[in-house]
A and B are shown apart, each in its own frame.
Chain A
Amino acid sequence: MGIEAYDVVIIGAGPSGIGAATVLAEYSLKILLIDENNQIGGQIWRKPAYQPVSRFRGHQPPTRQPMDLSTGIGTDKNNLHITTPSCVLGVFPDKHLLLSTSDQGVREIKARSIIFATGAREKVLPFKGWTLPGVMTLGAAQILLKQYGVLASSEILISGAGPLAYLLSSQIIGAGGKVTTVLDRSSLATMLNAVWVMAGQLPKIGEGLLALGRLIKKRVSVKHRMQVVEVKGKDKLQEVIAVRIASDGTAVDGSQQRYETQMLACGNGFVPNIELPQLTGCDLIYAVDKGGWIVKTDRSMETSVSGVFAAGEITGIAGSDKSLIEGRLAALSILNQFGKLNSKKYRIRRAALLNKRKHCQRFGAFLNRQWAIHPREWAGIDDAAIICRCEDITMGTIRGWIKKGIRSAPDLKRATRCGMGICQGRTCAPLIYEILAACSVAGKQEPHPLSVRTPVKPIPLGDLARL
Chain B
Amino acid sequence: MAWKSADVVVIGGGIIGTAIAYFLSRQKIDVILLEKDGIASGSSGACDGAVVMQTKKPGVHLKLAMESHALLSRMQDHLQMPIEFEQNGGLIVIETDEEKTAMKQFVKAQRQAGLDVELLDHKQLHALAPHLSDHLISATYSPQDSTINPIALTLGFAMGAKQMGAEIITGSTVSNIEVEGRQISAVETAAGKIETRTVVNATGVYASEIGRMLGIEIPIKPRRGQLLVTEARPDLLKPWLGSANYIAAKFNPQLAKEGAGGVSIDQTQNGNFLIGATREFVGYDKRTTTEGLKQIASRAVQILPVLKNMHLIRAFAGLRPYTPDGLPILGKVEKIKGFIMAAGHEGDGIALSAITGKLISELVSEGKTDVALDSFNLNRFSNDTT
- A interface with B by C-beta (< 8 Å): 90, 92-93, 96, 98, 108, 404, 408, 410-411, 414-415, 417, 421-422, 424, 445, 451, 453-455, 458-462, 464-467
Contacts and interface: CB of A to CB of B under 8 A. Distances in A.
B315 A465 contact: no
Interface stretch (B112-120, B216-224, B303-311): B303-311
B257 interface: no
* Interface band, chain B: 20 to 34
Contacts of B170: 411
A462 B310 CA distance: 8
Contacts of B228: 461
A458 B312 contact: yes
Interface stretch (B181-189, B196-204, B282-290, B330-338): B282-290
A458 B309 contact: no
Nearest to A411: B38
Given A460-B311, A461-B300, 20 more contacts: A90-B288, A92-B287, A96-B290, A408-B38, A410-B38, A410-B41, A411-B38, A415-B155, A417-B270, A422-B311, A424-B313, A451-B316, A453-B314, A455-B315, A458-B313, A460-B312, A461-B228, A461-B307, A461-B310, A464-B293
A414 B152 CA distance: 8
Interface in B306-358: 307-316
Contacts of B298: 464-466
B309 A460 contact: yes
The 8 closest A-B pairs by CB, nearest first: A462-B308, A453-B314, A458-B311, A464-B297, A465-B298, A465-B297, A465-B301, A411-B38
A424 B301 CA distance: 23
Contacts of B307: 461-462
Contacts of A98: 290, 293
B313 A414 contact: no
Contacts of A458: 231, 311-313
Interface string B21-59: 000000000000000001111000100000000000000
Given A422-B231, A458-B231, A93 B287 contact: yes
B73 interface: no
Contact of B297 (A93, A414, A424, A461): A461
Contacts of B171: 445
Given A414-B155, A461-B307, A464-B293, A453 B316 contact: yes
A460 B294 contact: no
A461 B310 CA distance: 6
Contacts of B159: 404
Interface string B137-153: 00000000000000100
Nearest to A423: B313
12 contacts: A92-B289, A96-B290, A414-B38, A414-B39, A414-B41, A414-B155, A454-B314, A454-B315, A455-B315, A464-B293, A464-B294, A465-B297
B173 interface: no
B230 interface: yes
A461 B312 contact: yes
A467 B300 CA distance: 14
B135 to A, nearest CB: 15
Nearest to B149: A417
Nearest to B288: A454
Contact of A462 (B38, B309, B313): B309
A460 B230 CA distance: 9
Contacts of B289: 92-93
Contacts of A451: 316
Interface in B148-202: 151, 155, 159, 170-171
A397 to B, nearest CB: 12
Most buried by B among A98, A410, A458, A460: A460
A108 B291 CA distance: 11
Interface string B216-251: 000000000000101100000000000000000000
Contacts of A414: 38-41, 45, 151, 155
